[in-house]
Amino acid sequence: MQLTVTGKQVDVGNALRRHVEAALDTLLAKYFGTAIEAHAVFAREAHLIHAEISLHIGRGIVVNSSAVASDHFPAFDAAAERLAKQLRRYKRRLRDYHGKARAPTEPGEMARSFVLAPVDEEALDEEAVGREAAADDASPVVIAEMSTELPRLTVGEAAMRLDLADLPVLLFRNRTHGELNLVYRRGDGNIGWIDPAFEAGRGSRPGSR
C-alpha cells in the first residue's frame, strides 16, 4: 500500500507516520485485506488538529473519514474508528467486490465535471435586471474543468460508494436499465435516489437491486 502522510501548518514526524501505517494495516487486514493507496492529512484549526483519512481500496471504491481533537494522535484515532465503522458496515460486500474486481471490466463512461465560482448577486449590473440577457449575466464562472468517470452500478452499489466516500451526491448509470441516476445525502441523514427512468414508467421499482 502506498501511504502518504502530510501536514498543513503542522509538523508530521516519524512516530506519527508509523502510528498511521500500523493502524491502517491492522484495520485493512481485519475488514478488507489491502488498499491501493492511502492518504492521511493533518491540519491545524485554531487550537485543534483536524485529521482526514482517504483510502483507495479498489476500482472506484474510496473511503473517507475525518475527526478533530486536541492532538494529532487522538484526532487520527477518532478518524480511524469512524473509518472502521464504515468498512464494518460493508465488510461482506466489499470482499465480494474485491473478488469480482480482479476480472476484466468494461471501460468506464467519461464525462466532464466543472467547478463554478459562486454568483455574487450584489455585483450584478443593475441595468441588466429585467433585460432578456439577465440570465446570461448571472451565469457563474467556470474556474476548473475535469474529466470524471460515470460508473455503471446498481442503486445499492451507488449508495454504498456515496456512504463510504462521504460524498454529498453521486451520479451513475443504472445497471438495471442503462439510464442516468442520482443518489444524494438528505438533510435527515438518509440517502435519496432520483431515477428519471422510473418516473417515466420505464425503470425498475424502488428498492430493487
**pLDDT tens digits, 29-40:** 888 777 789 999
Q: What is the pLDDT of residue 99?
A: 60
* 4-22 exposure pattern, b = at least 16 Cβ within 10 A, e = fewer: ebebeeeebeeebeebbee
Where residue 208 falls among pLDDT bands split at 50, 70, 90? very low
CATH homologous superfamily, domain 2-100 = Ribosome hibernation promotion factor-like (3.30.160.100)
Q: d(Cα 75, Cα 84) in Å, to the nearest integer?
A: 14
**What percent of the chain is modeled with pLDDT above 70?**
78
Q: d(Cα 169, Cα 159) in Å, to the nearest integer?
A: 10
Say which amino acid occupies 145: E
For the cut 60, the answer to whether the pLDDT of residue 200 exceeds it is: no
User: Phi first, then psi: what are they for 108, rounded to 5°?
Assistant: -75, 155
Across 43-48, average pLDDT: 92
CATH architecture of 149-209: 2-Layer Sandwich (3.30)
Q: d(Cα 174, Cα 209) in Å, to the nearest integer?
A: 10
Q: Are 110 and 147 in contact (CB under 8 A)?
A: yes
pLDDT digits (tens, 9 = 90+) for 121-146: 555 555 455 555 555 555 778 777 77
Q: d(Cα 165, Cα 181) in Å, to the nearest integer?
A: 18
For the cut 60, the answer to whether the pLDDT of residue 102 exceeds it is: no
Q: What residue spans define the domains of the chain?
A: 2-100, 112-148, 149-209
Q: How far is CA 71 from CA 7, 10, 15, 80, 83, in A?
A: 13, 11, 13, 14, 19
pLDDT digits (tens, 9 = 90+) for 48-98: 999 999 999 877 789 999 999 999 999 999 999 999 998 888 888 877 766
Q: What is the pLDDT of residue 132?
A: 52
